[in-house]
């Protein structure tokens, strides 16, 4: 049994903390929302009164917070001054590479081990304990990071040093955001050309147009039973979340001098779709923007 502090019990963190408790670990859980703490207690965690209370005696500290500023602030103010010596700190939030490197450096300066380990997979994978983690940490710490993440994971890959997990996450999601736009554009064009959507799906999924956005997440209802398009584009990966990741990618590109024109286009498209009021819809719903038929979306 490991003593774990879990900070951030939202849509993702709630299920992740529950899986740590289910695996037999002692989980002291904290969130700014009392309701979130109550749900974690129902799932077998112990309520902590504050971040300080959660981390004081912890061997592993896991954080699942909204963005870089939350992670920086919780690390600086609450975790680093109060955490037990020798603890392993793993931040699973999706944040900017600079913040990930900054908090890891502060942790190392305080004599602690730290990793950034963002996830791929949504709330269903968080609840099921089948997330994919990409970890940025020292090679020597990876075995400990793997052990800490195992109850929540389907796969855990070492991406490189601090910040590399976040780098992998934003590059992966840039591919995803761009490929979905390509798939949606192609369906919209196929329709204009009188090509049946299901026939095009069958052909492209067996041809060089095949990709995850098509065969796992088709924006056309009825083609992939588990795709959000079958549920009115509810659940899945919200457009607002995709936009957040593409913004992180663009910021990182600007700072590092990388040329990412397709990523910039993708960010603009999802920003437009989100600005029209569809930020909570799954990102595959952008098909309706391509078709110019937003009235079809509830
Ligand atoms: P969420 O908003 O549901 O949860 C974040 C939680 O952090 C909230 O409950 C909030 O109260 C809590 N919080 C904020 N500041 C805090 C503080 N100072 N102390 C304690 N708790 C605090 O968000 P989420 O969907 O769970 O996402 C969390 C992270 O995971 C984000 O970085 C997101 O980009 C990433 N992510 C989300 C998904 C997804 O499908 N939702 C998928 C992959 C990655």
Report the C-alpha gap between 87 and 85 in whole angstroms: 6
Residue nearest to atom 38 of ligand 1 (CA): 122
Residue nearest to atom 21 of ligand 1 (CA): 31
Index of the ligand 1 atom closest to the CA of residue 74 = 18
pLDDT at 239: 97
Distance 94 CA to ligand 1 centre (A): 9
Span 29-53, average pLDDT: 98
pLDDT at 121: 85
Q: In a 3-state reduction of DSSP, which class is residue 47?
A: strand
pLDDT at 123: 85
Instruction: Quick: pLDDT tens for 263-295.
Output: 999 999 999 999 999 999 999 999 999 999 898
How does 96-110 read in b/e, with b if 16+ C-beta sit within 10 Å?
A: bbebbbbbbebbeeb
Which residues have C-beta within 8 Å of that of residue 79, sequence separation ≥ 6? 7, 51, 55, 61, 63, 89
**Rounded (5°) CA angle 77-122-289:** 110
Distance 202 CA to ligand 1 centre (A): 37
Instruction: Quick: pLDDT tens for 183-236.
Output: 999 999 999 999 999 999 999 999 999 999 999 999 999 999 989 999 999 988
Q: In a 3-state reduction of DSSP, which class is residue 6?
A: strand
Confidence check: pLDDT of 124 > 90: no
Domains for the chain: give ranges and CATH numbers: 3-161 (3.40.50.720), 167-296 (1.10.1040.10)
Q: Are 119 and 145 in contact (CB under 8 A)?
A: no
pLDDT band with cut points at 50, 70 and 90 for residue 99: very high
Index of the ligand 1 atom closest to the CA of residue 245 = 34
Report the C-alpha gap between 292 and 41 in whole angstroms: 46
Q: Which residues are catalytic?
A: 169
- Report the predicted TM-score, pTM, of the whole model to 2 decimal places: 0.93
pLDDT band with cut points at 50, 70 and 90 for residue 15: very high
Question: What is the average pLDDT score of the chain?
Answer: 96
Q: In a 3-state reduction of DSSP, which class is residue 51?
A: helix
Distance 14 CA to ligand 1 centre (A): 9
| Residues in the ligand 1 pocket, defined by CB under 6 Å | 7-13, 30-33, 36, 51, 64-66, 70, 74, 93-94, 119, 122-123, 237, 241, 244
pLDDT at 37: 98
Confidence check: pLDDT of 63 > 80: yes
- Tell me the helix, strand and coil percentages in the chain, rounded to 5: 55, 15, 30
Index of the ligand 1 atom closest to the CA of residue 93 = 32
For a ligand 1 pocket test, name from 5, 7, 9, 11 the mutation site with the most ligand atoms within 8 angstroms of its C-beta. Answer: 11
């Amino acid at each position: 049994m490991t003593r774990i502090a879990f900070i951030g019990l939202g849509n993702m963190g709630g299920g992740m903390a529950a899986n740590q408790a289910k695996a037999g670990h002692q989980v002291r859980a904290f969130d700014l929302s009392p309701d979130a703490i109550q749900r974690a207690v129902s799932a077998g965690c112990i309520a902590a009164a504050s971040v300080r209370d959660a981390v004081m005696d912890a061997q592993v500290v896991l954080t699942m917070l909204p963005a870089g500023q939350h992670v920086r602030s919780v690390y600086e103010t609450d975790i680093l001054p109060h955490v037990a010596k020798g603890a392993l700190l793993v931040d699973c939030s999706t944040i900017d590479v600079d913040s990930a490197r900054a908090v890891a450096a502060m942790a190392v300066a305080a004599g602690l081990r730290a990793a950034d380990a963002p996830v791929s997979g949504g709330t269903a994978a968080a609840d099921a304990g089948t997330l994919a983690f990409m970890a940025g940490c020292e090679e020597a710490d990876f075995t400990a990071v793997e052990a800490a993440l195992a109850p929540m994971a389907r796969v855990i890959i070492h991406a490189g040093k601090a910040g590399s997990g976040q780098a992998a996450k934003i590059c992966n999601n840039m591919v995803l955001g761009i490929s979905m736009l390509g798939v949606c554009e192609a369906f919209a064009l196929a329709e204009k050309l009188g090509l049946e959507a299901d026939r095009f799906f069958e052909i492209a999924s067996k041809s060089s147009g095949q990709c995850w956005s098509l065969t796992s997440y088709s924006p056309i209802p009825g083609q992939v039973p588990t795709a959000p398009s079958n549920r009115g584009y509810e659940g899945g990966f919200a457009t607002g979340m995709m936009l957040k990741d593409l913004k992180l990618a663009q910021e990182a590109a600007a700072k590092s001098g990388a040329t990412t024109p397709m990523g910039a286009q993708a960010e603009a498209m999802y920003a437009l779709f989100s600005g029209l009021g569809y930020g909570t819809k799954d990102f595959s719903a952008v098909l309706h923007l391509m078709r110019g038929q937003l009235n079809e979306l509830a």
